[in-house]
Amino acid sequence: MSALAVEAKRLSVGYEELDEVLWAVRRATLGVRAGEAFCLVGESGSGKSTVASAIVGILPPHAVTDGELRVDGKLVVKGNERSYEGVRGRVVTYVPQSPGASLNPYLEIGDQFYHVLNSLYGLNRREALEKARAYLGMAGLDPEAVLDRYPHELSGGMQQRAAIALALSTGAKILVADEPTSSLDAHLRLQIVELLRRLRAEAGLTLIFITHDMLLAGALSERIAIMYAGSLVEQGPTGEVLRKPLHPYTSMLIESVPVLGAKRPLKPYAGEPPNPGELGGGCPFYDRCPSRLQVCASEPPVMKEVGDSHYVACWLY
């Protein structure tokens, strides 16, 4: 595996809408190191799930791309050409947001493993179930109690564990998890976070975690990237970004999140994130930024290195 598990260079992803393209991600440049836990944080509409779909290779047919994306060293996106052969499902795998919706409701859990492993590697039923037992066990489930159950017979937490086990059973070394805990109660959320931490260490995974939750990102990742309205605005070591945020939007996210036991005033910021079709030519955060400059209205800021591996896209730096 190369030093970078995922590398995006000025990656843009848009969706064709009638005769125009709505760009959900604009010129994103980022690198995820092999074996690290990386969090992509953003609010609804920030483009974080679109980046995840591009990495995993599940962009819809009406998606339009530009720039470059490499996964495990293989060029999967170049301009508007995309090729995920040998990568999708084998090198990179995916845990979606809603476990209930991602598992096939008509297949028992064991059959879901068989279908995936048979189509990827041609394993027979016995071999697939053997593998399923190992990965379900690794995910903290009792395989014999789960294999012949349908998804609706499992609780939300068990469904998410089964979905993680299924994703890992492909042998992929890069796991992209898109808000895997957002549909779970707080105590189950903690269990899944601990499971992902453990699995990452045991299986040597590269973990790319997509979330809107700063607390979760802080607990789980070594490096973090913040997205706003389709643009990457800041990235760097998690502790440093959270303790010394550089971009005004990162500061806003940190100051707005309620933290248990730390009853500071929640700092409100006016406005809401813009829709992709409403963006002007300057910084996407211009309308809400308390520190905006004249240049911010017309020129989009470029990502630059400010500290040790700490990058920010803001005209203040």
Partner 1 sequence: MSHAGSTDWAIELRNVSAGYTVAEGFKAIRKRYVEVLHDVSFRVGRGERVAVIGESGSGKTTLLRVMLGLLQPLKGDVMVLGQRIYAMPSRERWKITSRIGYVPQDPFRSLNPRLRVADIVAEPLTRLGLSESEKLQRLRAALRMVQLHESVLEHYPSRLSGGMMQRVLIARAVVHEPEILLLDEPTSALDVSTQAQVVNLLNSIQERLGCTMVTVTHDLPLAQYLADRAVILYKGVVVEEGALDEIVRNPKSEHAKLLIASYALGASGVVSPLSSSAAK
If one asks whether residue 261 binds partner 1 (CB under 8 A), the answer comes out as: yes
Report how far apart, in Å, the C-alpha atoms of 209 and of each of 82, 276, 283 are. Answer: 23, 23, 25
If one asks whether residue 216 binds partner 1 (CB under 8 A), the answer comes out as: yes
The string of DSSP codes covering 240-281 is HHHHS--SHHHHHHHHHS-BTTB-PPP---SS-PPPGGG--S
Nearest approach, Cβ of 64 to partner 1 (angstroms)? 26
If one asks whether residue 22 binds partner 1 (CB under 8 A), the answer comes out as: no
If one asks whether residue 253 binds partner 1 (CB under 8 A), the answer comes out as: yes
If one asks whether residue 266 binds partner 1 (CB under 8 A), the answer comes out as: yes
If one asks whether residue 44 binds partner 1 (CB under 8 A), the answer comes out as: yes
- Asked if 314 and 247 count as a contact pair (C-beta separation under 8 A), the reply is yes
Candidate list 67, 143, 218, 301; residue touching partner 1; CB under 8 A: 218
If one asks whether residue 270 binds partner 1 (CB under 8 A), the answer comes out as: yes
288's tokens: 């809400």
Cα separation, 218 vs 39, whole angstroms = 9
If one asks whether residue 148 binds partner 1 (CB under 8 A), the answer comes out as: no
State the number of binding residues for partner 1 (CB under 8 A).
Answer: 42
Nearest approach, Cβ of 125 to partner 1 (angstroms)? 35
Q: How large is the angle between the packed helices 125-138 and 156-168, nearest 10 degrees? A: 120
172's tokens: 């992929």
**Dihedral of the alpha carbons of 94, 97, 100, 106, in degrees to the nearest 10:** -40
Give exposure, 115-129, as e/b (b: 16+ Cβ within 10 Å). ebbeeeeebeeeebb
Element holding 310 (H helix, E strand): strand 310-312
If one asks whether residue 264 binds partner 1 (CB under 8 A), the answer comes out as: yes
Reported as half-sphere exposure (CB side, CA atoms, 13 A), residue 155 has a value of 7
- Closer by beta carbon to partner 1, 5 or else 242: 242
Element holding 201 (H helix, E strand): helix 186-203
Sites for partner 1 among residues 225-244 (CB under 8 A): 238-239, 242-243
x/- map, 157-196, partner 1, by CB under 8 A: ----------------------------xxx-xx--x---
Tokens 């836990």 map to which residue?
A: 37
- Asked if 43 and 212 count as a contact pair (C-beta separation under 8 A), the reply is yes
Candidate list 47, 57, 96, 273; residue touching partner 1; CB under 8 A: 273
Specify the stretch interacting with partner 1 by CB under 8 A; choose among 100-108, 158-166, 213-221, 229-237. 213-221
x/- map, 285-304, partner 1, by CB under 8 A: ---x----------------
Nearest approach, Cβ of 273 to partner 1 (angstroms)? 7
Specify the stretch interacting with partner 1 by CB under 8 A; choose among 64-72, 109-117, 146-154, 253-261. 253-261
By CB under 8 A, name the binding residues for partner 1.
Answer: 43-44, 156, 185-187, 189-190, 193, 212, 214-220, 238-239, 242-243, 252-264, 266-270, 272-273, 288
